[in-house]
Structure formats: C-alpha cells, structure tokens
Structure 1
C-alpha cells in the first residue's frame, strides 16, 4: 500500500512538473552571446508586451495603433496585416521564451475562431475590422487588399506549421483565400484589390517585383491560384523607354521558363540594385521575414536586400543625416511614406524622418551598423520603457512620434527573432507546401548586380 501511495505521489509530481513547464515561459531558450544580443532580447520582450497588452482578450485581434503623445489613445480596429503580425509575434514570443507554447496556442485559437466568423469576399479579408467583435469598420470603406491578404495568409501558414494543433483551423482559412479573383491574366499581375462598394477591381496593379506585395504573388503561385508565369511578368525595372522613372536602367532581356524578362538594374554610388517603388526598407525587406530570399536568392533577391541596406546607409551619409532607416511609418497624428529616394523607381520624398523598424529589418545584413544606428536613435529619445522603440523621429526637428503601430512592432519583433534564431520564421513558412513549391523561382534568377 505504501509503495502504491509513493508511486501515486511520484505521478502527481511528474504531472505537475509537466504542467508547470508547458504553461510557464522558459526564459533560457535564448541565451544572448554579447551585449548587443542582450539588448535585442530586451527590446523584443518589450515589443512582445505591446501585443499582449493591446490585443482584445476575447477576439484575439490587435489594435492598429496606440499613441502616447499626451494620454493613451487607442485605435481599436485592425487589419489583415496586423493580425498576421500578431500571429508571427506569438511564434516569436515562444521562440524567445516570453510565453509558453501552450499559452500562445490558446491565444491564437481565439484569433483563428474570430477570423472564421469575420466577413470575407472569396475568402479574402477586408481592410478594417473592429477589434472588440470582428465586425467590419465600414466607415473606412469596404476594400479587399491583395498585399494585406498576402500577409495574413503568410501568418496563417507559419502558425499552422508551428502549432500543429491549430492546423485544422489555419488550413481551411488559407485554402478559401482565393487569389485568382484578384489576378489579371491579360497583364499577368495582381490587381491592387477589390472595392466592394464599387463592385470593381482597382484599375492599378501590383506590377513591380521588389515591393512588399511579392509575398502575395509568391504564395498565390504556391497555392496554385495564379500561374507561375506571374512571377516573370513582374517588372524588375521598367524598360529604358519608360523615361519617367528615376534613372535609366541598364540590362538585357533574359529568358526564364520561356518568358522574356527585362533584367534591368539601377546604380547608386557603385551599388547595383533592382529598385523598389519608393526606396523604403519596408518594401525591400519585409518579405524576407518569411520568404527565404537571403538563403535561396543569392544572385537575386537576397543580394538585392543587402544592397538596399547598403544603399540606405550610404544615402544617409551622403546627405549628412545623423541616422538612417527610411520607411513608411507613423508621425504625430498621421502616417507618412518615407524612403531613400534614390533607391526607388519613383521614390518617396526624403523628409529627414527615420523609423526604427527599418533598422531591425536590416539586422541580418548589417548587424554592427544596425546596433550603432539604434544607439543613435536611443540618444534621440526614440526608446520607450514599456513597449520599446517609438515609431519615428524627425532628424531635422528632433520631434519623436510617441506612437506604436502593430505593423511596425511586428516587423521589429519578427526581425529580432529571425536574427537570434537563424531564420526560424522563414523555416516554418517554407515548411508549408505553399511556401516550398515556388522555391525554384527564388533560386534560378540572377539580377546581375554582383560587384
């Protein structure tokens, strides 16, 4: 009898230990090797705290924006991209030891069940929903965005691969997101989106490869919703006869899978690159948070990512700016598009405004330069004690936007995670067959930008 009782006690202790270690964050999963990694981990934990504090506990939807200029001001609506950033943020939180996998899975299950009830168009999500109940925020229109849905699909893919218990919820949502309804076969491009109120697709398309919609293009091909030729129909640069672009490209016609592609190249101060539209870090490097561009596109997208980082740093130096990192971000009571103008096909206007998320996106390409730049931003008062880096600083006036956007917080957190955990988010994205099938598109291309 005593022996049975002893075994019973051992069993209780064992079960208790299992429950403890599966419900309590294990804060030793990431051991910083140096002062820089320690600071990155501290920033990541504060950034993760933003998602915990500003995500509705019932719906699992994260607020779009929170301002701290005077009193706390919450923007209690969300977008498909914001939801994706929350999902990637939860995976990051587990990987870095801020939350247990069990607790993160329970939180994400709420988000997925809310997504399953939200109104969609051909399985694709509208731009804005209220965080309290998941209903549409119709006073801002009823628009379905190609790029925003692409990010949501990517977030669902990573979530389903990372949390196997959630695949029964993520897979059907991904399957129903039908990108063929946004595809224009006459030009081989995705429309910008669909306006439900006007009952019409946008007249404009996402026609450039090196902008953030390439995530949607890539996974739409991986899903089989659009043909593979779509990838080769996207412009690297516009042809030289398009004389409105910021510079005349050099290059030649190259054949990929029977499709002629103009392999055009820009050049800035000895750096060769394929341009984005506005010259921003967001367009250039955000897709590499989930796509294995750096690993697979060694002669194309991966190398181009490095050159854009180098270009942004050089641009700040040549314009005698005290810091670098140009990308769309929040300003006081508003939002603006910022870039290193020369790196864009048209180029966003340079207003001397930098944003920390642009530095974090560059971590895997220039860690020492990023660390030095972040120190400068801290000295300018851009670092908040509760949730990490504020969104922007105006280098001319010193004005800091004491604002947090869930989009930018998500980019910071996932970029740190990929840096500290060797591209873990990309691994899970490509573990999904949708992410794996088009990998050859990344591998085969050569932009012709080697020194």
Structure 2
C-alpha cells in the first residue's frame, strides 16, 4: 500500500546456498513447535474432497448469479439471495479477471464442463475486446456497467459522480487472468493474445520514484481528476497524451500490487530493479518508529540493489509484514505465481509464517475461535479492511475486530507502548482468507471453514457468505466477486493440481521471475 496518506484505488528451481538453513531458522516456526504442530494436525480430519467440491460448486453458482448472460461480465457483488436484481450494477477489471480464472478452476474441479467453460470465457473476452479503454496503454477503466459495458460515471446506488480511473493493481488481476486462460483454454487464444499484447505495464512504472529501482503508481486518470486528487501530469509511455498519474506509489513488497510488477517483468516493460525497490519493512531507528513495530534484520545486496531485509517479531516468528497484515496482501499473487517454490528463502518461508500468524492470532492471541482476516464486507454494513495489526506496517492498522482494537508494542528508546496486549472484541473473519491459506495449512483451513459453515451458519446457496463477526454471529449476507473468485481459484489449485499456477507459470514467465525472486533471503540475521 502507499504510505503517503493517499488511498489505493477502490477495490479495490532456486540455489539454496549455505544461508538457506539460517534464513529458515529466522523466519520459520521454532523447532520446538514441530511436535506441537504435528500433534495439532493429527487431531484434524484429512481433506474432505466431497465437501471441498460442494464448496466449489456453490461458489461457482454465486459467480454465475453475478454474471450478465449477454455480456459475460460479472457484477462486483450480489446479495445472498442470488437474485439478479441485487447485483451491484458495476464491475471492474479485477472482477472480470476473477470470473475468467474461476471458470478454469471450476472446469478443472469438475464443476463446469469443458465446452461451457470455453463458451463462457469466449463470451467475456469478446465483450472486453470492445470495452472503452485507454488506447495508448491498453488498460481498462476501473468501473463498467456489467449489463452493457459502458464506463460508470455515476454510482448506481447514490448517483455520485465517478471520474474514470485506470488502476495498476486492478488491471494486474485482469492481466493475470489473461495469462491463465490463454494457456488453459487454448480455443480462446485468438482473443486473449491480442489483449495481452496491448497491455503496457510501463504506463504505471515510475523510474524516478522515491525508491531506487522505481515503483508503480497506483494508477492514472486520462481526463481531469476529482478536485483535490494528489496527481501529477506525465506520461511514461512516450506516446499519447499526458495523463494525471497518482502521486502515491505501491512501495511495500508484501502487497497485492506486486502482480502488476510481475506482469511488467514478464513483458520486459518493467526492469528487474523494480523487484527490490519496495520496502520489506521500513528501516529501524527512531526516525521510522511511527511504524507498527521495531523491525529486525540487516541490509543485503542483490544485483547491486541494497535491500533492508527487515521483519517483525511475532509469537516466536519473524514475519515480513504487509501494509495492513491481511491474507489478501500476502497470498493472492501466490495463487498464480508459485512464489514459495521460486523464492524458497523468501516467500517460501514468509507465506507459511503469515498463515501461522493469522491462525495463532485468531485462536490464541485474540481467542475468537476462528481465524482468517482480510478486506471484506463489513457484517454491519459497507466494506472494511481487516487484518492482523501486529504483522502490518500501518500504524493505524487493519484491525481484526469490529471495535478496531489496536496493538501497539512501542519501539524501545523511541516511543512507549500504548497497547502491547489488548483485549479483543468481535472478530471479523472472512472465508476467502482460509481458502488462500489452504495451500500452506490445508487441514487447519478446512477445519476453520467447517466451523464457519456448521457452527456459525456463514453459508448459503452461493457458498460462503462474505464475512462473519464471530462473537455476535452477525453475517455479511452477500457475495463479492473478487472474494468468491479467490475462494474458487485457491480450491482449483488444491483440487486441480495447481491448475492456475501451472497455467500462469509458463516458461517465459519462469525465465522472467524465478531468477529475480530466487536470490532473496527475507528477514536476514543481524550477524
């Protein structure tokens, strides 16, 4: 996430070397936890394929309910009734991408026939080919009417004006889906390939940003922006008119935005220097003591780039944090890019550590009885960002409960702790976080989801409801397209032999990404 106070756009084989064991010892669970982990897992049932396939089938039902039959565009959300009249009335590049990869996952699991999968993907791509877009970059606007494909200029519920915006991260998820379907659904390559070729990721890449190596803008407007927007006129493409680029950049590495950078690397439109530019944590010291916690680590050099390999201490682990400590930031890109395999000493250690941290927060630290915290519908209305405050850099926090309980351990010698061990309230758990976690703690994630369905009733005809406040039992009785597509995408990898990772991680993708991420050691020791 950007750290200058600007909001992100709305809906928003490795050579291990001698340091691998040391890195694992720093970030991985302590050795003494191995027996406890084995004992815990021994008490959990093995994966229930029938239940998982039912979850997949019902989740796909919700995505079909969101989708306009003529355009093939999915709405941003639908109420739990699945009635067409309750669709949101708008969609985004992320939603469109999610529907495309969900069709592939549903086919692989056996929920959707091959012919229907191809027909649905082709219908959607045919519509997308003709959607209004920014021609020089090929990028899609952030909001369209799913019924007719027009650009949304007023919100359907409030009538408020919308200035068309082009988001790097939202286009990133659409681009990821294109890479999946062009491989997994060969009969649509005649549509997918031209769309892939027209996307210019360098439209977002700012080589002169505040970090050596350059950063990605949040996005840009191609017409005058809303009054007060923090933007600068410019054009990174060298063609077309200048646009209004956001002043905020994505400057933290554990972020969903890295998918756009990956795509830029694959296309040769963003240099490999970008990978090492975003912060792992902010630096140590009192000048940076406003961040959530004191980072531990040291500086390492990769391809001439100096990187402070910081991490936060949390319950016997060192975790490289995201901006808000949410499961989405950590794990959504991993649904497509096999980060844990290609970056064994970095993502291969941090992903399981993050999942463990989320589980221990929910079950032990906060005592909710459930876990999995990520942006989702607020059970009490609207939308809200949830996360584990202690593993997010944001001092304002993505909180795990309704009350917004802050964790503040302070920074020794710089600022006093104000809330090192608070009492938590009504925790808000979202099912998509558990589905993402299933790649690393499958039995624990399944057990958590079984409880959400059987004990809390957070389930309906369209699969899991978007979120539940676990102590009050208050349910967010709706489905969001992005969240449902995360559930189905993750299930596709679990039940379909990594179908999305295989489809995305083609040889050209591997050549571009694996050598870069394979170098890094997250959370390096101080000595």
- TM-score, length basis structure 2: 0.76
2:520 paired residue number: 445
Confirm or deny: 8 A CA contact 2:80 2:462 kept in the other structure. no
Cα distance in structure 1, aligned partners of 2:294 and 2:47: 44
8 Å contact kept, 1:264–1:274:
yes
**For residue 149 of structure 2, what is the aligned residue in structure 1?**
134
Residues 69/401 of structure 1: CA separation in 2 closer, same or farther (3 Å cut): farther
Check the 8 A contact 2:66/2:82 in 1, yes or no. no
CA contact (8 A) 2:74 2:481 kept: yes
> Matches of 1:449 and 1:382 in 2, distance apart?
41
**Deviation, structure 1 residue 35:** 5.9
Using CA pairs under 8 Å that are at least 6 residues apart, name the structure with larger relative contact order, 1 or 2.
Answer: 2
Offset of 1:34 from its aligned partner?
6.2
Structure 2 alignment gaps of length 5 or more: 1-44, 155-161, 226-242, 402-426
Structure 2 residue 343 is matched with structure 1 residue 343 = no
Q: Deviations over 1:205-231 (max 9, x none)?
A: 001111100111111111111111011
Q: Give yes or no for contact 1:296–1:439 (8 Å, CA) kept in 2.
A: yes
**Contact persistence 2:100–2:177 (CA under 8 A):** yes
CA distance in 2, matches of 1:398, 1:64: 25
Matched, 1:322 2:322: no
Q: 1:195: how far off? A: 2.2
Offset of residue 53 of structure 1 = 2.6
Q: Which residue of 2 aligns with 1:146?
A: 168
Q: Normalized against structure 1, the TM-score is what?
A: 0.89
Q: CA deviation at 1:340?
A: 0.8
Q: CA deviation at 1:436?
A: 4.2
Quote how far apart the aligned CAs of 1:66 are. Answer: 0.7
User: Which residue matches 1:230?
Assistant: 274
Q: How far apart, CA to CA, are the structure 2 residues paired with 1:43 and 1:127?
A: 29
Equivalenced residue count is: 417
Number of the residue aligned with 1:282: 328
Question: What residue in structure 2 maps to residue 88 of structure 1?
Answer: 101
**Structure 1: unaligned runs, 5 residues or longer:** 1-32
- Superposition pairs of residues 397-436 of structure 1, within 5 angstroms: 397-431=472-506, 433-434=508-509, 436=511
Aligned pairs (5 A) from 1:111-130: 111-121=124-134, 122-130=137-145
Query: How far does residue 109 in structure 1 lie from its aligned partner after superposition?
Result: 1.0
Distance 1:134 1:263 in 2: 44
Residue 437 of structure 1 aligns to a residue whose secondary structure is helix
Secondary structure of the structure 1 residue equivalent to 2:301: strand
CA 236–34 in structure 1, closer or farther in 2 if over 3 Å, else same = closer
Alignment of 1:354-433 (within 5 A): 354-378=429-453, 379-384=455-460, 386-431=461-506, 433=508
The superposition leaves residues 115-168 of structure 1 with CA deviations (integer Å, 9 ceiling, x where unpaired) of 111111220111100111111011232111110011100000100011112112
Question: RMSD of the alignment, in Å?
Answer: 1.8
Higher helix share: 1
1:212: which partner in 2?
256
SS of the aligned residue for 1:208 comes to: coil
Secondary structure at 2:220's aligned position in 1? strand
- Deviation of 1:429 after TM superposition, in Å, equals 0.3
Residue in 2 that maps onto 1:159? 181
Query: How far apart are the structure 2 equivalents of 1:99 and 1:367?
Result: 24
**Partner of 2:343 in structure 1?**
297
Given the superposition, is the C-alpha separation of residues 449 and 322 from structure 1 closer, same or farther in structure 2, using an over 3 Å criterion?
A: farther
Give structure 1 regions of 4+ aligned residues with deviation exceeding 4 angstroms.
Answer: 69-72
Q: Is the 8 A contact 1:161 1:432 kept in 2?
A: no
